Amino acid sequence: MSEPGQQPTPVPDAKSGNWVDRYAPDWLKPYARLARWDRPIGFYLLFWPCAWGLGLAAIANPAQGFDWWGAVLMLVGAILMRGAGCTFNDIVDRDIDMQVARTRLRPIPSGQVTARDAMAFLIAQALLGSVVLFQFNRFTVWAGVASLVLVAIYPFMKRVTWWPQAFLGLAFSYGALVGWSSQTGGLGWAPILLYAGTILWVIGYDTIYALQDVEDDALVGVKSTARLFGEHVKPAVATLYAGAFLLWNVAALLAGGGIVFAALSLVAVALFTWQVWTVDAAVPDNPRFRFDSNKYVGIVIALALLAEWVW
């Protein structure tokens, strides 16, 4: 734990001057950092597929419209479950985190929080998340419960496969299915293709994020698509992004969408192109900044779906 009167140490990959560092009481800061409240990009990226699923369902059933209250609940759920997932990840990875420059000051490896206290915090977040989940229909509740398997296995994948980003994609894209099923009580090809495209998107942006840790990961023995792709990382990520864009458009077409979504979603292509063209792992903060820009991709696709529904 931090010494009495000592400020809990910020982590290097958090934006300086974030609200946790500035306003949270000292006792809360380590737990807020465990849940990544100082880095909201994660719950944005978890929430946007939920909003996309809601938007796709609105296109398929225009009379029912977009479920704004459902979106609010899913945003709260995304914050809670992203925090729970990050807490679990830090409990599992605490030995690895001590050996990586970017993560060694996280609350558990730095001694600010014990693994036992972190587990209690994890359970509290998960229980609150379940309260949100139970506001939806039975199919969605069971679908949400099933997603916990993906959340549980993800932290271990970097030890056994070069594709841990694919397992992150399976977990982080799940909101596309939850959003759709919360409105329809089931699934179909449109949400499945939306989910598949979102998985490719997650693999792409997390590969960019993992470029920050390539050297440390090689020393520790952690696998990632950033290491797997090596010097071919740019064309690999470009291919993943192209596949995501194609599948999103097919999903919109199957739901009853058309030219409005197709046209507006080209803004996401411009963002993807900029990310791939300019990413440079040798420049500090370059990969993180391009990773962060995916929150704008989320906004663009959500607005494109809403515009298609209104149209």
What's residue 129's pLDDT? 92
DSSP label of 234: H
123, part of any domain = yes
User: Which residue in 292, 290, 293 sits closest to 279, CA to CA?
Assistant: 290
20, part of any domain = no
Q: Which range marks the domain in which residue 46 is found?
A: 27-310
Place of tokens 């993943």: 240
| Residue pair 275/208 in contact by the 8 Å Cβ criterion | yes
Give 102-130 pLDDT, tens digit per residue: 777 788 887 888 889 899 999 999 999 99
Give residue 229's identity as a one-letter amino acid code: F
Q: Is 61 exposed, middle or buried (0-12, 13-18, 19+ CB in 10 A)?
A: middle
Give 177-210 pLDDT, tens digit per residue: 999 999 999 999 999 999 999 999 999 999 999 9
CA distance 165 to 202: 7
16, part of any domain = no
| Residue pair 248/264 in contact by the 8 Å Cβ criterion | no
CA distance 205 to 293: 9
Mean pLDDT of all residues belonging to the chain: 89
Domains contained in the chain, number: 1
Q: Which of the pair, 283 or 240, is modelled with greater confidence? A: 240
233, part of any domain = yes
Q: Is 264 exposed, middle or buried (0-12, 13-18, 19+ CB in 10 A)?
A: middle
Can you give the CATH number for the domain in which 46 is found? 1.10.357.140
214, part of any domain = yes
9, part of any domain = no
What's residue 10's pLDDT? 58
Half-sphere exposure of 169 (CA within 13 A, CB side): 22
3, part of any domain = no
| Residue pair 241/276 in contact by the 8 Å Cβ criterion | yes
262, part of any domain = yes
